[in-house]
Amino acid sequence: MKIARPIQALIDSFQKLPGVGPKSAQRLTYYLLHVPQMQLDEFSDAVSRLKKDTKLCSVCKNVSETDPCPICSDTSRDHSQILVVEEPLDILAFEKTGKYKGIYHVLHGAINPLENIGPDEIYIQALLDRVKNPDREVKEIIIATNPTMEGEATAMYLMRQVRGEGSKVKVTRLGMGIPTGADLEYADEVTLTQALEGRREL
């Protein structure tokens, strides 16, 4: 195989990305050979500055250019409500709905004993500190971790920690049930059970 080293280097870099196999990495690299150097420079710059020009918000741990982040410094939002997510990307999903006016907390992961990720490896203590801080007047924590084993374990752990401290803060979990547009016929038993349990009076 006689691939020029600069080409092989980029193929290797692409292959380290999730969901990019050897074939896609080759295709992307050879595509970039046809692109103007200016676009390559922009791309290269964006990669190298991604982490250099961003930091974690000291309040909510979201990735931001400023500290505190624009959401935490927005006084028009309801600072008594904290929505807890696993990843910064999850915040985008909620912001897109336009319905949530509270603030956030990013755990940067979920408890996963199989991968040696315990409560101390993610930003759980930072959340507990926010809740305990009387200046912040937190009234509700909405746990929006993923409905996976790890997400559920993290939700349970969080709930116990907040309850255990005798805090009067309300702890809620996102509603579970049938997603819009789904076909009941193909819904799994767990989802249907949760939809039944979570039924609401009309």
- The site for a copy of itself (CB under 8 A) is made up of 1-7, 9-10, 12-13, 16-19, 24, 26-33, 35, 37, 39-54, 63-65, 69-71, 87-89, 92, 95-96
Nearest CA-CA partner of 109 in 174, 71, 153: 153
Residue 89 or 182 with smaller CB distance to a copy of itself: 89
Question: What is the nearest approach in angstroms of a copy of itself to the Cβ of residue 84?
Answer: 17
Residue 22 or 118 with smaller CB distance to a copy of itself: 22
Question: What is the nearest approach in angstroms of a copy of itself to the Cβ of residue 148?
Answer: 16
Positive or negative: CA dihedral 113, 117, 122, 125: positive
Residue 39 or 133 with smaller CB distance to a copy of itself: 39
For β-strands 140-143 and 78-85, DSSP reports them as parallel
Question: What is the nearest approach in angstroms of a copy of itself to the Cβ of residue 83?
Answer: 14
Residue 13 or 80 with smaller CB distance to a copy of itself: 13
DSSP state of 148: S
Question: What is the nearest approach in angstroms of a copy of itself to the Cβ of residue 98?
Answer: 10
Nearest CA-CA partner of 82 in 52, 127, 113: 127
Judge contact between 122 and 108, C-beta under 8 A. Answer: yes
Alpha-carbon span 185 to 45, nearest angstrom:
49
Judge contact between 58 and 73, C-beta under 8 A. Answer: no
Question: What is the nearest approach in angstroms of a copy of itself to the Cβ of residue 20?
Answer: 8
Alpha-carbon span 142 to 106, nearest angstrom:
12
Residue 154 or 162 with smaller CB distance to a copy of itself: 154
